[in-house]
Amino acid sequence: MEMKKSIVVVSLIVPLLFLVPLFNGGIGTAIAARNQDASESWGYVEVRPKAHMFWWYYRSPYRVEDPNKPWPIILWLQGGPGASGVGIGNFQEVGPLDTNLKPRNSTWLRKADLLFVDNPVGTGYSFVEDNKLFVKTDVEAATDLTTLLIEIFNRNQSLQQSPLYIVAESYGGKYAVTLALSALKAIESGKLKLKLGGVALGDSWISPEDFVFSWGPLLKDVSRIDGNGLQKSNSVALKIKQQISAGQYEAATNSWRDLENIISDNSNSVDFYNFMLDSGMDPLSLTASELSQGISMKRYSRYLQSSKFTPGSDVDLDSLMNGAVKKKLKIIPQNVQWGGQSDSVFNAMYGDFMKPRIDEVDELLAKGVNVTVYNGQLDLICATKGTEAWVEKLKWEGLKTFLKMERSPIYCKGDKSTKAFTKSYKNLRFYWILGAGHFVPVDQPCVALDMVASITQSPAVSK
């Protein structure tokens, strides 16, 4: 990998004396380095002047060389907007280590290499030097991500041999579909040397309107709200629909916040990430809750700065990322705090937050891109009921056949109990994950691991 001013790669075992100051009164001279086996690398890409995006790549120790099935790379995109993939997705969901820095048996490295990105700029370790540089739309975020992929992949022929699968969670699904289209355009024009394997949308905020209409009926069916709560919920959902139709997206975001307060008040604070729980009962929903922490914008901002714990751990994610991890990485500027600009990221995207991205999914399907949709049974914020509703709005030519198909049950590791259902037709696949809330890899790690092995056609031997 050659030197470039905008890219930095530093590894675990690079001696400190090999490092030069990265920032000196703004953007400084960047260096490139890696350890001997290249098992980990990370760095910054200056995607625009004074806008710096951080990434972290793991090469799988379980890699299998198969000429018929190339080893895949998964790009994990977190939601928010403003939630950190490098922190949450990596240490709390699918990376090699948990927040106690202990090995995770269910790490997705068993099936693929992993690339985590703090996207958009301002998220996690990513940062801007000027507040005017925060992105305001999913499309702007996709442009920055495409720039990052060009920097990472174009100068590494080894990475170019692996198909890239974009796997997203929550709001990350909106980034995923806009990125996939942007990346395809860059690939077709010769600007990006990359094989796009597919896109997977996990509990993704693709159609806000369909989700807000799902909340009341779902909670009424499971006895969490009564008829009065349902009436209030449906009334605000209708208002949101009208605002979206009129292009009043910021007003729709305000009404979304109001609706979450109504849902909370009428359900005695249901957890939006697992409707079987009260808000605050699930440690992960306190730490990784993305679309809203606890119900309002104020709560969301508070979540980003509050204690973040993993189940079974007494380690605060914020302290971990600003402590041991930052110390290990060495290249994070001293004045940059992990998550320090995250609330600004959300605020900057306030006007795009409620915009649907169904058309982008349709466009990907029409282009022949493999699209997987998966949803946790117990999720509320991105409820399966809402996901099914937006899928049924697709104009894709294979939709009617897909909807008529029977589902197949999924089991895991010899367990005879049903863990999930799936069905697929041509390049669309859907997974219904039982017993899981918003964070599928945490709630059903075995099913999630088998699912990504199937999605990516990983040559890894199933165990």
Give the pLDDT score at 314: 60
In this prediction, residues 314-340 reach a mean pLDDT of 90
pLDDT digits (tens, 9 = 90+) for 150-190: 999 998 898 999 999 999 999 999 999 999 999 999 999 99
- Determine if residue 339 is left, alpha or beta; phi over 0 gives left, psi from -120 to 50 gives alpha, anything else beta: left
pLDDT at 30 over 70: no
Residues 6+ apart with CB under 8 A from 132: none
Give the pLDDT score at 291: 42
Give the pLDDT score at 356: 98
Q: Give the CB-side neighbour count of residue 311, counting CA atoms within 13 A.
A: 10
Residues 6+ apart with CB under 8 A from 149: 164, 183, 186, 192, 194
Please, which pLDDT band fits residue 316 given cuts at 50, 70 and 90? confident
SS3 420: strand
Give the pLDDT score at 366: 98
Please, which pLDDT band fits residue 66 given cuts at 50, 70 and 90? confident
In this prediction, residues 71-78 reach a mean pLDDT of 97
Q: Give the CB-side neighbour count of residue 118, counting CA atoms within 13 A.
A: 33
Residues 6+ apart with CB under 8 A from 414: none
Give the pLDDT score at 38: 72
Domain 21-462 has CATH 3.40.50.1820: yes
Catalytic annotation, residues: 170, 379, 438
In this prediction, residues 112-127 reach a mean pLDDT of 96
11 in Cβ contact with 38 (< 8 Å): yes
Residues 6+ apart with CB under 8 A from 391: 373, 399, 430
pLDDT at 296 over 50: no
pLDDT digits (tens, 9 = 90+) for 332-368: 999 999 999 998 999 999 999 999 999 999 999 999 9
Q: Give percent of the chain above pLDDT 90.
A: 77
Q: Which amino acid is at 265?
A: D
In this prediction, residues 83-106 reach a mean pLDDT of 94
pLDDT at 376 over 90: yes
pLDDT at 460 over 80: yes
Give the pLDDT score at 140: 98
In this prediction, residues 288-306 reach a mean pLDDT of 38
In this prediction, residues 47-76 reach a mean pLDDT of 94
For residues 392 and 389, what is the distance between their CA atoms, to the nearest angstrom?
Answer: 5
Mean pLDDT rounded to a whole number for the chain: 87
Please, which pLDDT band fits residue 462 given cuts at 50, 70 and 90? low
Give the pLDDT score at 65: 87
Q: Give percent of the chain above pLDDT 70.
A: 84
159 in Cβ contact with 381 (< 8 Å): no
Q: Give the CB-side neighbour count of residue 281, counting CA atoms within 13 A.
A: 13
Give the pLDDT score at 14: 37
Give the pLDDT score at 283: 56
* Cis? peptide before 120, omega within 30° of 0: yes
SS3 72: coil
For 119-234, list the strands marked E by DSSP. 127-128, 163-169, 195-202
- Determine if residue 282 is left, alpha or beta; phi over 0 gives left, psi from -120 to 50 gives alpha, anything else beta: beta
pTM: 0.90
Q: Please give the DSSP secondary-structure letter assigned to residue 407.
A: P
pLDDT at 128 over 70: yes
User: ∠448-451-456 over CA atoms, to 5°?
Assistant: 125
pLDDT at 306 over 50: no
SS3 279: coil
Q: Which range has highest mean pLDDT (20-24, 66-70, 136-140, 260-264)?
A: 136-140
Give the pLDDT score at 282: 60
pLDDT digits (tens, 9 = 90+) for 185-213: 999 999 999 999 999 999 999 999 999 99
pLDDT digits (tens, 9 = 90+) for 423-453: 999 999 999 999 999 999 999 999 999 999 9
In this prediction, residues 93-120 reach a mean pLDDT of 96
Q: State phi, psi for 42 to the nearest 5 degrees.
A: -160, 165
Please, which pLDDT band fits residue 279 given cuts at 50, 70 and 90? confident
Please, which pLDDT band fits residue 290 given cuts at 50, 70 and 90? very low
The domain limits of the chain are 21-462
Cα dihedral 169/174/176/178 (nearest 10): 180
SS3 209: helix
Please, which pLDDT band fits residue 413 given cuts at 50, 70 and 90? confident
78 in Cβ contact with 148 (< 8 Å): no
pLDDT at 330 over 50: yes
pLDDT at 16 over 60: no
